[in-house]
Amino acid sequence: MDIHEYQAKEILARFGVPVPRGGLAYSPEQAGYRARELGGSAWVVKAQIHSGGRGAAGGVKLCKTPDEVHAFAATLFGKQLVTKQTDANGKGVYRVWVEGASDIAQELYLGFVLDRKSERIMIVASAHGGMEIEDLADSDPNSLRRMTIDPAVGLSEFQARELAFQLGLQGGQVAQMVTTLRACYRAYRDLDAVMVEINPLVITHSGDLVALDAKMSFDTNALFRQSQIAELRDRSQEDPRESTAGDHGLSYVGLDGDIGCIINGAGLAMATMDMIKLAGGEPANFLDIGGGASPERVVRAFRTVLADGNVSVILVNIFAGINRCDWVAQGVVQAYKEVGLTIPVVVRLAGTNVEEGKAIIDSSGLPLISADTLAEAAAAAVASRPKPATHKAA
Strands 259-263, 193-204: pairing is unpaired
Rounded Cα–Cα distance for residues 126 and 330 (Å): 56
Q: Is-catalytic flag, 109? A: yes
373: nearest Cα among 266, 271, 300? 271
Annotated binding site: 46, 53-55, 99, 102, 107, 199, 213, 264
Q: Is 222 helix (H, G, I), strand (E, B) or coil?
A: helix
Q: Is-catalytic flag, 231? A: no
Sort 134 into a burial class: Cβ within 10 Å, 0-12 / 13-18 / 19+.
Answer: exposed
Q: What are the φ and ψ backbone dihedral angles of 171, each rounded to 5 degrees?
A: 55, -130
4: nearest Cα among 32, 55, 46? 46
Annotated binding site for ATP: 46, 53-55, 99, 102, 107
Strand-pair partners of 113 = 122, 195
Report whether 287 contacts 252 (CB < 8 A): yes
Q: What are the φ and ψ backbone dihedral angles of 9, each rounded to 5 degrees?
A: -65, -40
Annotated binding site for substrate: 264
CB atoms within 10 A of CB 322: 12
Q: Is 87 helix (H, G, I), strand (E, B) or coil?
A: coil
Rounded Cα–Cα distance for residues 18 and 99 (Å): 13
Report whether 185 contacts 121 (CB < 8 A): yes
Q: Is 231 helix (H, G, I), strand (E, B) or coil?
A: coil
Catalytic residue of the set 5, 185, 197, 336: 197
Rounded Cα–Cα distance for residues 195 and 114 (Å): 7
Q: Which residues carry out catalysis?
A: 109, 197
